[in-house]
């Protein structure tokens, strides 16, 4: 989603602004721009598309200002054109913005009635006019901004600079994250610490409702009520090296291949392998007394949660309520006393997931989160944090974060099962051993990667693809379909295998590949029956299974052979073939694998 950077420096900052924006590229964007204060007036350069277009613009028309802001835009209001790209400005003020100003319609109407003329289709432009309007009435830059912020509704982060103010930048956070970086006589601002890593590791995160006045000598922070507040300064661990692709063609490929290692790290954080026991941090709630676990997340993280539901219900015998965060937040379900609310998020910043977290807190639930970014808002607002140790995930399509989320949920299941007496010590030992084997099995699977290329060439010809699965393989079918559609743009849907005959079977013909995710577990024969139904209608079946192809009892277009593993751990393993199929299909089709069209890595708007 949009990325914000700002610098009060000692020399021309445009180059550093672009470098910082490059570190936010992974979030997804479709245009970019920078503005600086130049001899007292504001100047900007903007470009549609990738940062190289903005760099070319800056090369031809350089900016010299020492105070500046920059932005990568992921379009919400208005098409991704240069005219709608940030910064937005007039002769007094220049603004970059992440998020949505929900009441922009009414504000714009009132401003137009006062004679303001709008140049863009964005919601952001109202901020420029509101501040200018207050300054016109005689307010200075800080007071004009304070008044403007009070009139805005929505979730947003803003960075603002002013004509005639070479040593002033104002930052505001209401729903979208913002980090202040402290340099030596220089100050920085970024959507996250990764953007600022080459300049400083001294970071202050603004809290909800905070706004800050930055000058080269430091920052003064105010809370929502306008009271001056102190916020802690932390040492960021974000590396100054731009995370690179190593020998891989795409970040997604690198991240798929990192899975054996990062799953090992994650499991090692929760398992005592010497004792074959799980060792979870205290969640602050008596596991035996938990009446319900409510899971909420979006996209791939939601599918991880869905696997968690199967596990928690089966092994820990706890009722689990799960919903997509954007639905959960407005459904406002009643939640029982002694409930554990669990949030899953790679970024820890997903707006809908954060909103459900706050709802569950208001309902007196114990709040735990499975997050990859420990400094994120979701982590900071949780009672307990169960980190995934996946490392930075740059590819928009989530891969290693998903399998690390599954790893944490598997360990949580064992911990709760043991505490509730639903699994014995012997079972715990067996399941811990099974989990410990996962990285090795995934490493073996990855050695077989070339075989996916041929399959992918065939998939690339399809217009529609169906994925089927049962039990804990059903979320894998959903995840497989999501992976394929988001990076190859082929229409794909995941279904519970048993649901096929209630509608989707009408889609089956000889042009539709059907990918069946079916480990040879206690549901395998049921899935086989559904596969026969597909075969009888001419569907082209690709079976992903540890069962011999002979067991299929029908013609298969392909068989992806999986190792025999404990059924408990199969979701972790079966994630890999669906990732590889999607990846190679997208590579064959020549799409932008790491930054697919229209998608953002960190979804900070609802
Ligand atoms: O950062 P989060 O895990 O909260 O993100 C949730 C989804 O936006 C994310 O999983 C999305 O669905 C990915 N593009 C899937 O590959």
Q: How many domains does the chain have?
A: 3
Same domain, 261 and 220: no
Confidence (pLDDT) at 28: 76
Same domain, 429 and 323: yes
Confidence (pLDDT) at 182: 96
CA of 601 to the centre of ligand 1 (A): 7
In a domain, 441, yes or no: no
Ligand 1: residues within 6 Å at CB? 298-301, 345-347, 350, 353, 396-398, 482, 486, 599, 602-603
Among 92, 206, 213, 102, residue whose Cα is nearest residue 151: 102
In a domain, 277, yes or no: yes
Confidence (pLDDT) at 246: 67
Q: Is 207 helix (H, G, I), strand (E, B) or coil?
A: coil
In a domain, 451, yes or no: yes
Domain span holding position 605: 447-606
Same domain, 161 and 283: no
Same domain, 228 and 249: no
Among 270, 564, 562, 566, residue whose Cα is nearest residue 430: 566
Q: Which residues of the chain have pLDDT under 50?
A: none
Same domain, 147 and 208: yes
* Other C-beta atoms lying within 10 Å of the C-beta of residue 249: 12
CATH code at 183?
3.60.20.10
Residue whose entry in the numeric block shows the structure tokens 């043991």: 418
* Other C-beta atoms lying within 10 Å of the C-beta of residue 505: 17
Q: Which helix (H) or strand (E) holds 272?
A: strand 271-272
Q: Which atom of ligand 1 is nearest to the CA of 601?
A: 14
Q: Which atom of ligand 1 is nearest to the CA of 399?
A: 16
Among 521, 537, 540, 516, residue whose Cα is nearest residue 468: 516
Tokens representing 307 are 């696997």
Confidence (pLDDT) at 268: 87
Confidence (pLDDT) at 78: 82
Q: Which atom of ligand 1 is nearest to the CA of 397?
A: 16
DSSP secondary structure letter of residue 175: B
In a domain, 223, yes or no: yes
SS3 sequence of 559-596: EEECCCCCHHHHHHHHHHHHHHHHHHHHHHHCCCCCCC
What's the rounded Cα separation, in Å, for the pair 161 and 111? 21
What's the rounded Cα separation, in Å, for the pair 179 and 76? 23
What's the rounded Cα separation, in Å, for the pair 189 and 70? 10
CA angle, corner 90, sides to 88 and 95, nearest 5?
35
Residue 477 near residue 517 (C-beta atoms within 8 A): yes
Q: Which atom of ligand 1 is nearest to the CA of 353?
A: 4
What's the rounded Cα separation, in Å, for the pair 183 and 188? 7
Active site residues per annotation? 2, 601
Peptide bond into 399 cis (omega under 30): no
Same domain, 216 and 329: no
What's the rounded Cα separation, in Å, for the pair 176 and 419? 38
Among 27, 32, 98, residue whose Cα is nearest residue 392: 27
Same domain, 345 and 486: no
What's the rounded Cα separation, in Å, for the pair 323 and 508? 29
CA of 247 to the centre of ligand 1 (A): 25
CA of 299 to the centre of ligand 1 (A): 5
What's the rounded Cα separation, in Å, for the pair 117 and 145? 20
What's the rounded Cα separation, in Å, for the pair 268 and 262? 10
Among 399, 405, 346, 353, residue whose Cα is nearest residue 374: 346
What are the C-alpha distances in Å from 386 to residues 120, 227, 367, 377, 518?
Answer: 43, 33, 11, 14, 29
Residue whose entry in the numeric block shows the structure tokens 């599918």: 303
**Residue of 251, 256, 298 best suited for mutating to test ligand 1, as the one with most atoms within 8 Å of CB:** 298
Q: Which atom of ligand 1 is nearest to the CA of 346?
A: 3
Residue 33 near residue 44 (C-beta atoms within 8 A): yes
Same domain, 492 and 352: no
Helix boundaries (H) for 2-124: 14-22, 51-60, 104-113
In a domain, 541, yes or no: yes
**Residue of 398, 404, 591, 593 best suited for mutating to test ligand 1, as the one with most atoms within 8 Å of CB:** 398
Confidence (pLDDT) at 345: 97
Confidence (pLDDT) at 472: 97
Residue with the smallest CA separation from ligand 1 atom 11 is: 299
Sequence-distant (≥ 6) Cβ neighbours of residue 574 within 8 angstroms = 473, 476, 517, 519, 544, 562
What's the rounded Cα separation, in Å, for the pair 353 and 351? 6
Same domain, 196 and 155: yes
Tokens representing 474 are 């059903």
Same domain, 413 and 432: yes
In a domain, 412, yes or no: yes
CA of 232 to the centre of ligand 1 (A): 29
Residue with the smallest CA separation from ligand 1 atom 10 is: 300
Last residue of a domain, one of 436, 470, 498: 436
CATH code at 599?
3.40.50.10490
CA of 303 to the centre of ligand 1 (A): 10
CA of 246 to the centre of ligand 1 (A): 23
Peptide bond into 87 cis (omega under 30): yes
**Residue of 300, 343, 596 best suited for mutating to test ligand 1, as the one with most atoms within 8 Å of CB:** 300
Helix axes 299-315, 474-488, angle to 10 degrees: 170
Last residue of a domain, one of 172, 203, 235: 235
In a domain, 351, yes or no: yes
In a domain, 168, yes or no: yes
Residue whose entry in the numeric block shows the structure tokens 């002033």: 168
CA angle, corner 506, sides to 504 and 509, nearest 5?
110
Confidence (pLDDT) at 240: 56
* Other C-beta atoms lying within 10 Å of the C-beta of residue 218: 12
What's the rounded Cα separation, in Å, for the pair 603 and 605? 6
Among 53, 17, 57, residue whose Cα is nearest residue 37: 17
Same domain, 266 and 287: yes
What's the rounded Cα separation, in Å, for the pair 295 and 369? 10
Q: Are strands 187-190 and 93-101 parallel, antiparallel or unpaired?
A: unpaired
CA of 406 to the centre of ligand 1 (A): 14
Confidence (pLDDT) at 172: 97
Segment 530-533 long-range contacts (CB within 8 Å, at least 24 positions apart): 530/468, 530/470, 530/497, 530/498, 530/500, 530/501, 531/468, 531/497, 533/500, 533/501, 533/505
Same domain, 302 and 387: yes
Q: Which atom of ligand 1 is nearest to the CA of 347?
A: 1
DSSP secondary structure letter of residue 523: T
Confidence (pLDDT) at 242: 57
Among 485, 492, 494, 462, residue whose Cα is nearest residue 574: 494
Residue with the smallest CA separation from ligand 1 atom 14 is: 397
Q: Which atom of ligand 1 is nearest to the CA of 600?
A: 14
Residue whose entry in the numeric block shows the structure tokens 């811990």: 432
What's the rounded Cα separation, in Å, for the pair 416 and 429? 14
What's this model's pTM, rounded to 2 decimal places? 0.79
CA of 470 to the centre of ligand 1 (A): 23
Residue with the smallest CA separation from ligand 1 atom 7 is: 299
Last residue of a domain, one of 375, 402, 436: 436
CA of 399 to the centre of ligand 1 (A): 10
Compute φ and ψ for 577, nearest 5 degrees.
-60, -35
What's the rounded Cα separation, in Å, for the pair 96 and 86? 6
Helix boundaries (H) for 114-221: 125-136, 141-151, 193-196
Q: Strand order in 228-229's β-sheet?
A: 88-89, 93-101, 154-162, 165-174, 211-215, 218-222, 228-229
């Amino acid at each position: 989603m949009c990325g914000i950077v700002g610098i009060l420096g000692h020399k021309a900052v445009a180059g550093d602004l672009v470098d910082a924006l490059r570190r936010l590229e992974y979030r997804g964007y479709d245009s970019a721009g920078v503005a600086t204060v130049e001899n007292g007036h504001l100047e900007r350069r903007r470009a549609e598309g990738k940062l190289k277009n903005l760099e070319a613009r800056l090369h031809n028309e350089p900016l010299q200002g020492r105070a500046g802001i920059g932005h990568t835009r992921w379009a919400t209001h208005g098409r991704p054109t240069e005219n709608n790209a940030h910064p937005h400005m007039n002769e007094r003020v220049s603004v970059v913005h992440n998020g949505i100003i929900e009441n922009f319609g009414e504000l714009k109407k009132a401003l137009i009635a006062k004679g303001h003329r709008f140049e863009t289709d964005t919601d952001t432009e109202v901020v420029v006019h509101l501040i200018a309007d207050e300054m016109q009435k005689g307010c200075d830059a800080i007071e004009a901004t304070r008044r403007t912020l009070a009139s805005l509704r929505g979730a947003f982060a803003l960075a603002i600079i002013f004509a005639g103010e070479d040593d002033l930048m104002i930052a505001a956070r209401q729903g979208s994250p913002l980090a202040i970086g402290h340099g030596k006589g220089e100050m920085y601002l970024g959507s996250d610490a990764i953007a600022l890593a080459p300049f400083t590791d001294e970071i202050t995160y603004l809290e909800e409702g905070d706004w800050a006045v930055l000058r080269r000598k430091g920052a003064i922070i105010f809370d929502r009520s306008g009271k001056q507040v102190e916020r802690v300064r932390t040492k960021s661990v974000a590396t100054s090296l731009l995370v690179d692709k190593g020998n891989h063609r795409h970040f997604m490929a690198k991240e798929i291949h990192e899975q054996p290692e990062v799953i090992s790290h994650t499991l090692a954080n929760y398992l005592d392998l010497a004792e074959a026991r799980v060792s979870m941090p205290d969640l602050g709630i008596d596991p035996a007394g938990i009446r319900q676990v409510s899971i909420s997340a979006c996209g791939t993280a939601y599918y991880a949660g869905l696997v968690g539901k199967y596990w928690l219900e089966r092994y820990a015998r706890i009722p689990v309520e799960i919903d997509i965060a954007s639905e959960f937040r407005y459904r406002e379900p009643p939640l029982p006393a002694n409930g554990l609310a669990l949030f899953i998020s790679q970024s820890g910043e997903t707006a809908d997931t954060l909103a459900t977290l706050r709802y569950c807190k208001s309902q007196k639930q114990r709040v735990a989160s499975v997050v990859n970014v420990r400094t994120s808002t979701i982590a900071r607002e949780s009672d307990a944090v169960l980190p995934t140790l996946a490392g930075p995930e740059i590819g928009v399509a989530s891969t290693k974060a998903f399998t690390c989320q599954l790893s944490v949920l598997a360990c949580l299941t064992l911990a709760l099962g043991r505490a509730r007496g639903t699994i014995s010590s012997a079972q715990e030992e067996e399941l811990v051993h099974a989990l410990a084997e996962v990285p090795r099995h995934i490493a073996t699977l990855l050695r077989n990667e070339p075989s996916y290329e041929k399959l992918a060439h065939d998939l690339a010809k399809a217009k529609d693809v169906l994925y089927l699965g049962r039990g804990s393989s059903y979320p894998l079918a959903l995840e497989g379909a999501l992976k394929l559609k988001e990076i190859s743009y082929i229409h794909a849907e995941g279904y519970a295998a048993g649901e096929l005959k209630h509608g989707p079977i009408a889609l089956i013909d000889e042009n539709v590949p059907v990918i069946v995710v079916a480990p040879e577990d206690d549901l395998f024969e049921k899935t086989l029956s559904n596969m026969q139904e597909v075969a009888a209608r001419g569907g082209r079946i690709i079976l992903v299974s540890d069962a011999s192809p002979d067991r299929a009892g029908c013609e298969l277009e392909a068989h992806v052979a999986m190792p025999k593993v404990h059924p408990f751990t199969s979701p972790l393993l079966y994630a890999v073939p669906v990732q590889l199929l999607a990846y190679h299909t997208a590579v064959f089709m020549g799409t932008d694998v790491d930054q697919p069209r229209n998608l953002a890595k960190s979804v900070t708007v609802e």
